[in-house]
Every structure is written in structure tokens, then in C-alpha cells.
């Protein structure tokens, strides 16, 4: 994952501005399932700029975000300086399948919009090692695009399909490995590390205008890897559509999360 993480270099500020923050209901759900309103330790794998880590500050004794990319990690460290629960939040350089953490230390392990970058067999074995018995692992991702305006959604889906087509035609760079998100739950079940698994859906409302929408669209993993023009993938038409349908006034974004759960 270390080489793969290089694709995020130079994107930390943009990523942090545009990407959504996980819904508070996720924290309520995970803590309820393990019968611990205030867990002792949460470990957030592939923590990026800390959007999925700092939300735990008020709820836990300690949360550790592990992130291999220095730019993303530095952004997270800078932000946490002003967090009211900064003393509970820690960021470390690290990779998901070699955390360096003690056996059975974590009540909760999360991977937010990141598990598809991790080799599942070794990562799930490491997660099982650091989770205490009865602890929970949650791999969660949001659907793209968020539901905002049906015509804008339609344009965005066209761009996404074109991007996938071009990536397949040109081939992924050798240093870039991605595992399919729709296999997360199967991989968790097949690992035999968890006595109970299931998927749940959560929804969250954020607000954004055309500028945020386009910045989020551009904050993907492929911009630094391929020299796609905006015309090739239809970003020029999507930009026009975003300005037409969103403009400069923030509108509600209905963000849907798919949460894959495993109880050790």
C-alpha cells in the first residue's frame, strides 16, 4: 500500500475540503454493537486527512489513524491541533497489514473509503490480530455521486463510466492495485476471522455548491496516473452541468454509505 499511497501526494488539501465526513450514526451503531458507548481504542486504517478519525475524538479514550501518505497525514496532524479533543487523537505512519499495534488492543477498527486499496487476506488477518474478542471491524464507503439533482447525477455517471472505460483500455499502472468494493463482505466472510458479518446502509446530509462538487470529482486516484483531458472523460460537460444545476448556493447532498461489519 505504500507505493499505492503515492497517488495521493499533493491532493491532501483538496481532498479534505471536498470529501464528506462520516455520519454520526455510524459511531452510534458501532459502539452499540459492541456494548461500549466510550471505547478505549479505535484504529482507523488508511485514515487520510483524518475525516474518519477525528470524529471519534469525543467518543473514545484514544483513536489512532494509520496513514502511509505523508501529505495526507500531515494535513490530518495540522487540523487536529485545533480539535477540542486533540489529546485523544493520534496519527501514525503505517500500513494496514502491518500496523505494529499489540494483539487484541482495539475495540473497533475502521477503514473508511480505503479498504479497496488494501490486500484483503493479509489486512483482514492483521485486523483480527489487533481486535479484541467481541470487537468490530467496519469497512465503509459512500456511493458516488451523492444524490443531489437527477440530471447532474446522470452526467456524473456518464463521466464515471467513461473514466472506467479509459482506465481499462490503457491499463492500470503496475504500482496501482485496487480490490473491488462489492467483494468486501465476501472477503470478510471467507477470511473466517469474524463470527458475524453483515452489510448495513446509512445516510447522511451534507451541503455543497458546484465548486465543491467539481473539486470532489477531481480528487480521485487517477488524475495523477493518467493524462486524461477533461474533454476525453466529459469533465467539461460535467462542469457546465454542475454550474447550471448547483451554482454557488450550497444545496443538500444526500450521501449513502455501505457499511460492511464483522464481529470478531
Here the cell at position 173 is 499502472
Higher pLDDT, 118 or 5: 118
pTM: 0.94
Measured distance CA(93)–CA(136) in Å, rounded:
23
- Residue ranges of domains in the chain: 2-146+178-205+252-263
Lowest mean pLDDT across 10-14, 59-63, 72-76, 87-91? 10-14
Match 489512532 to its residue by C-alpha cell: 64
Q: How do residues 154-173 score in pLDDT, each as one tens digit?
A: 999 998 888 878 877 877 66
Sign of CA dihedral 139, 144, 148, 149: negative
**pLDDT recorded at residue 231:** 84
143: DSSP letter: -
Higher pLDDT, 123 or 178: 123
119: DSSP letter: -
Mean pLDDT, range 254-261, rounded to an integer: 98
**pLDDT recorded at residue 47:** 98
Measured distance CA(192)–CA(65) in Å, rounded:
25
User: Average pLDDT over the chain, rounded to whole?
Assistant: 92
Q: How do residues 83-123 score in pLDDT, each as one tens digit?
A: 999 999 999 999 999 999 999 999 999 999 999 999 999 99
Measured distance CA(34)–CA(245) in Å, rounded:
43
Q: How do residues 111-122 score in pLDDT, each as one tens digit?
A: 999 999 999 999
Mean pLDDT, range 218-241, rounded to an integer: 78
- Does domain 2-146+178-205+252-263 fall under CATH 3.10.20.30? My reply is no
**pLDDT recorded at residue 162:** 86
Measured distance CA(210)–CA(246) in Å, rounded:
5
Of the pLDDT bands very low, low, confident and very high (cuts 50, 70, 90), residue 222 is: low
Measured distance CA(224)–CA(11) in Å, rounded:
10
**pLDDT recorded at residue 163:** 82
**pLDDT recorded at residue 55:** 98
**pLDDT recorded at residue 2:** 46
The values of phi and psi at residue 208, to 5°, are -165, 160
List, in sequence order, every beta strand (DSSP E) within 32-119: 41-45, 62-66, 89-92, 106-112
Match 470529482 to its residue by C-alpha cell: 217
Of residues 111, 122, 135, the one with CA closest to residue 53 = 111
Of the pLDDT bands very low, low, confident and very high (cuts 50, 70, 90), residue 235 is: confident
Amino acid at each position: 500500500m505504500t507505493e499505492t499511497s503515492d497517488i495521493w501526494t499533493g491532493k491532501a488539501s483538496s481532498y479534505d475540503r471536498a470529501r464528506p465526513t462520516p455520519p454520526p450514526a455510524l459511531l452510534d451503531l458501532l459502539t452499540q454493537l459492541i456494548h461500549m458507548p466510550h471505547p478505549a481504542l479505535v484504529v482507523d486504517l488508511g485514515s487520510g486527512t483524518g475525516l474518519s478519525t477525528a470524529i471519534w475524538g469525543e467518543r473514545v479514550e484514544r483513536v489512532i489513524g494509520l496513514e502511509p501518505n505523508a501529505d495526507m497525514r500531515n494535513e490530518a496532524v495540522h487540523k487536529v491541533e485545533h480539535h477540542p479533543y486533540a489529546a485523544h487523537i493520534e496519527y501514525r505512519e503505517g500500513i494496514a497489514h502491518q500496523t505494529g499495534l499489540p494483539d487484541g488492543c482495539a475495540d473497533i477498527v475502521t477503514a473508511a473509503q480505503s479498504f479497496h486499496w488494501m490486500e484483503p487476506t493479509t489486512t483482514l488477518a492483521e485486523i483480527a490480530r489487533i481486535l479484541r474478542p467481541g470487537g468490530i471491524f467496519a469497512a465503509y464507503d459512500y456511493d458516488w455521486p451523492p444524490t443531489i439533482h437527477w440530471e447532474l447525477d446522470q452526467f456524473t455517471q456518464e463521466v464515471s463510466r467513461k473514466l472506467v472505460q479509459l482506465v481499462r483500455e490503457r491499463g492500470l499502472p503496475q504500482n496501482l492495485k485496487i480490490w473491488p468494493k462489492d467483494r468486501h463482505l465476501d472477503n470478510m466472510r471467507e477470511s473466517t476471522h469474524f463470527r458475524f458479518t453483515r452489510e448495513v446502509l446509512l445516510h447522511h446530509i451534507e451541503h455543497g455548491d458546484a465548486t465543491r462538487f467539481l473539486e470532489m470529482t477531481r480528487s480521485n486516484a487517477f488524475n495523477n496516473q493518467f493524462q486524461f483531458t477533461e474533454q476525453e472523460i466529459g469533465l467539461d460537460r460535467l462542469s457546465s452541468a454542475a454550474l447550471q444545476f448547483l451554482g454557488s448556493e450550497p444545496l443538500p447532498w444526500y450521501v449513502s454509505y455501505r457499511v460492511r461489519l464483522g464481529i470478531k
